[in-house]
Amino acid sequence: MTENSLSLYEINIAYTNLKALLLDDTEGDLDLETSLATIEDNQIQKVTNIGMIIVEMASHAAALKAHKAKINNRQKIFENGIERLKEYVKNSMIQFEQKTIEGDFVTVSRRKNPLKVEVVNADLIPERYIVTKEVKSIDKIKIREDFEATGFDVVGTQIVQNESILIKS
């Protein structure tokens, strides 16, 4: 297998193995150092190639997101059109005092929906109809700020700092 066809995983293993050999080598073998430099060059090339793939995939994802927004917008236009046409037909049927119209391909009918409550003024509603909901949430920002100020963890938490990859093109 040539060095250029190695996966990043295989390059990482080869680097770790050569570095261990180099640390054990008391004579300073020039071949090991050259091999280590070659593997490092391969790793840099592999990582930059993967970076370009990530940039291309991000571009595709952004294009799909924009397309999805257009499709959602188009869907909303159709849904709004449906509601307008239903209201238009309902008003006509009310005016003509019709409950059902049967055509060759569709039957259109009016029906009563279940009762619903519309709140006009919430301040006037008696207390017995008001439900209080308690929502608990953890203030992670406050915990982090206290940790940064004191250096002490809050019981039940741990402070972590992850790394991410930034790719510029």
Q: Is residue 79 part of a domain?
A: yes
Q: How many distinct structural domains can be found in the chain?
A: 1
Model confidence at 25: pLDDT above 80: no
B/e letters for 125-134, b = 16+ CB within 10 Å, e = fewer, are: eeeeeeeeee
Q: Is residue 167 part of a domain?
A: no
Across 24-28, 99-103, 116-120, least confident range: 24-28
Q: Is residue 156 part of a domain?
A: no
Tens digits of residue pLDDT in 26-80: 666 678 888 888 999 999 999 999 999 999 999 999 999 999 999 999 999 999 9
- For residue 30, what pLDDT is reported? 73
Residues 90-109, mean pLDDT to the nearest whole number: 94
Calculate Rg over the CA atoms of the chain: 34
Q: Is residue 158 part of a domain?
A: no
- For residue 32, what pLDDT is reported? 80
Model confidence at 18: pLDDT above 90: no
Q: Is residue 163 part of a domain?
A: no
- For residue 127, what pLDDT is reported? 92
Q: Do residues 89 and 95 make contact, with C-beta atoms less than 8 angstroms apart?
A: no
Model confidence at 3: pLDDT above 70: no
Full domain range(s) for residue 8: 3-150
Reference 94, options 118, 111, 69; nearest CA is: 111
d(C-alpha 139, C-alpha 160), whole Å: 16
Q: Is residue 134 part of a domain?
A: yes
d(C-alpha 37, C-alpha 9), whole Å: 17
Average pLDDT, whole number, for the chain?
90
Q: Is residue 71 part of a domain?
A: yes
Q: Is residue 97 part of a domain?
A: yes
For the chain, where are the alpha helices, taking DSSP H only? 8-24, 30-95, 140-150
pLDDT band, very low/low/confident/very high, at 2 (cuts 50, 70, 90): low
Residues 107-136, mean pLDDT to the nearest whole number: 92
